């Protein structure tokens, strides 16, 4: 299991949030969250941000988890990681 997947699960459990509740907050199925936590699937940057916001994770925790999941902050200004990830995850015209 990748480190970020365990960290996501631990963060959710420490927050006292069920997968069902997090799913409602982030508009994703609980079974999908389980697949992320078990390392069977990998979310987009935008979806991972939505999950972390649904857990009320602070900016530093969100950035740490996003980087651990393979979303680079290369080229991002300090404190701008989340914006770059969200922008990069958008479909291009």
- Check residue 26 and report its DSSP letter: H
Please, which pLDDT band fits residue 72 given cuts at 50, 70 and 90? confident
Burial of 22 (0-12, 13-18, 19+ CB in 10 A): buried
Domain architecture of the chain: domains with CATH: 3-89 (1.10.260.40)
Summarised one tens digit per residue, pLDDT across range 2-31 is 689 999 999 999 999 999 999 999 999 999
Residue 12's alpha-carbon distances to 78, 91, 92, 93, in angstroms, are: 27, 28, 32, 35
Summarised one tens digit per residue, pLDDT across range 57-68 is 999 999 999 999
In the predicted model, what is the mean pLDDT of residues 82-86? 52
Burial of 71 (0-12, 13-18, 19+ CB in 10 A): buried
């Amino acid at each position: 299991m990748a480190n970020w997947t365990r960290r996501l699960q631990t963060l959710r459990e420490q927050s006292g949030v069920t997968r069902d509740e997090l799913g409602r907050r982030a508009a994703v199925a609980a079974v999908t969250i389980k697949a992320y936590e078990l390392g069977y699937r990998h979310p987009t940057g935008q979806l991972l941000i939505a999950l972390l916001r649904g857990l009320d994770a602070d900016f530093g925790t969100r950035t740490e988890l996003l980087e651990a999941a393979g979303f680079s902050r290369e080229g991002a200004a300090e404190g701008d990681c989340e914006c770059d990830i969200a922008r990069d995850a958008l479909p291009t015209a």
